[in-house]
């Protein structure tokens, strides 16, 4: 497992191909769950766990991993299932989301699988842990539930959506008022964060929960005669989404003469040295890691400057 992410080149091979690799695991039962391998740093046996006073109920404690102190989150409890009791034989998955590193306590790792995003479907509506899923897929006739880790993390350590007064005082932002943007993300948490920040700038928002829905919406507008660069100031798209990922969405936009000049920002919780390669390969105009309200404003400002 340690060699999962050894090569940047190997990881970027999937970019624009509408494919992903998932790491499958179990929690407190037989149900299979998954997260994207891109987010995984390593899988290992639980090191010595240190308890913390006044910790969040879903945080088991912290571990020291090569000089870095990481919180260990009971992922089973965090999504509404029964807790996992940590032991010296427990497994943790070390991940990086939104520029933060954390470990998830799991019941056991199954395997890594390469899939097409078209085989990844939105989760069914419902209560309970359904609220913590971004997607589902089927592997060997078994349902695999893909966890909305951003939602889990936002409940443990909520992120601020507030833009600083200094940024809001920029006179150039007056040109954003009333303009429209399209937000594309399969995480309701991420969409809400974006909407809240955009509202502070007076921007009007449209949203889609995956790349395919976004593309259909864009084509519908274009079919009705809209000049797309007049209609939309820009598009913010997540990378990983069911049915069509953000890379393929960008590729499809660039291949349609009516859409090709739209300003597309890849807005993702992925981070690392492969980001620039991803952006360059699919033709995004900008890249922003989640979630940084002031940097979001900087990106919008860069777009507005193009109109001057």
Q: Each residue of 75-130: pLDDT tens digit?
A: 999 999 999 999 989 999 999 887 789 999 999 999 999 998 889 888 887 656 66
Residue 41 confidence (pLDDT) above 80: yes
- Report the run of H or E that residue 111 belongs to, with start and end: strand 108-116
Q: Where in the chain is the domain with CATH 3.40.50.2300?
A: 165-307
Q: What is the CATH number of domain 17-155?
A: 2.40.50.180
The answer, yes or no, to whether residue 278 has pLDDT greater than 80, is: no
Where along the chain do the CATH 2.40.50.180 domains lie? 17-155
pLDDT band at 210 (very low <50, low <70, confident <90, very high): very high
The yes-or-no verdict on residue 275 having pLDDT over 70 is no
Place domain 165-307 in its CATH homologous superfamily: Response regulator (3.40.50.2300)
Structure tokens that stand for 193 in this block: 């964060």
Has residue 304 got a pLDDT over 90? Answer: yes
pLDDT tens-place string over residues 215-228? 999 999 999 999 99
Model pTM score: 0.83
Beta strands across the sheet bearing 40-45:
40-45, 91-97, 100-106, 68-74, 59-65
Alpha helices in 179-308 (DSSP H): 188-199, 211-223, 228-231, 246-255, 275-282, 293-305
User: Model confidence over 182-206: pLDDT tens digits?
Assistant: 999 988 889 999 999 999 999 999 9
C-alpha atoms less than 13 angstroms from C-alpha of 255 in its C-beta half-sphere: 9
How many CA atoms within 13 Å lie on the side-chain side of 74? 20
pLDDT band at 272 (very low <50, low <70, confident <90, very high): low
44: left (phi over 0), alpha (psi -120 to 50) or beta: beta
Rounded Cα–Cα distance for residues 167 and 161 (Å): 13
Task: Say how far apart CA 88 and CA 111 lie, in whole Å.
Answer: 21
């Amino acid at each position: 497992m340690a060699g999962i992410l050894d090569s940047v080149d190997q990881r970027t091979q999937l970019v624009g191909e509408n494919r992903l690799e998932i790491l499958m695991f179990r929690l407190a039962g037989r149900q299979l769950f998954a997260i994207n391998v891109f987010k995984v740093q390593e899988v290992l046996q639980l090191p010595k766990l240190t308890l913390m006073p006044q910790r969040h109920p879903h945080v088991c404690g912290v571990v020291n991993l090569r000089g870095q102190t990481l919180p260990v989150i009971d992922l089973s409890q965090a999504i509404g299932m029964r807790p996992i009791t940590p032991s010296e034989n427990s497994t943790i998955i070390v991940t990086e989301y939104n520029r933060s590193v954390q470990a998830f306590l799991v019941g056991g790792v199954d395997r890594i699988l390469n899939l097409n995003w078209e085989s990844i479907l939105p989760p069914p509506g419902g209560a309970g842990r359904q609220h913590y899923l971004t997607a589902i897929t089927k592997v060997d006739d078994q349902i695999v539930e893909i966890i909305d880790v951003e939602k889990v993390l936002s409940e443990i350590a909520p992120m601020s959506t507030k833009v600083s007064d200094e940024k809001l005082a920029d006179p150039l932002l007056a040109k954003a008022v009333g303009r429209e943007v399209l937000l594309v993300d399969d995480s309701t948490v991420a969409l809400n964060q974006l909407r809240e920040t955009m509202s502070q700038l007076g921007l009007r928002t449209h949203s889609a929960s995956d790349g395919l829905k976004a593309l259909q919406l864009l084509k519908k507008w274009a079919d009705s005669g809209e000049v797309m660069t007049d209609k939309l100031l820009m598009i913010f798209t997540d990378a990983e989404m069911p049915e069509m990922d953000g890379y393929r969405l960008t590729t499809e936009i660039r291949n349609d003469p009516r859409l090709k000049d739209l300003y597309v920002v890849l807005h993702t919780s992925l981070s690392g040295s492969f980001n620039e390669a991803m952006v360059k390969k699919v033709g995004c105009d900008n890249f922003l890691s989640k979630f940084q309200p002031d940097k979001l404003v900087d990106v919008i400002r860069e777009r507005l400057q193009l109109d001057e």
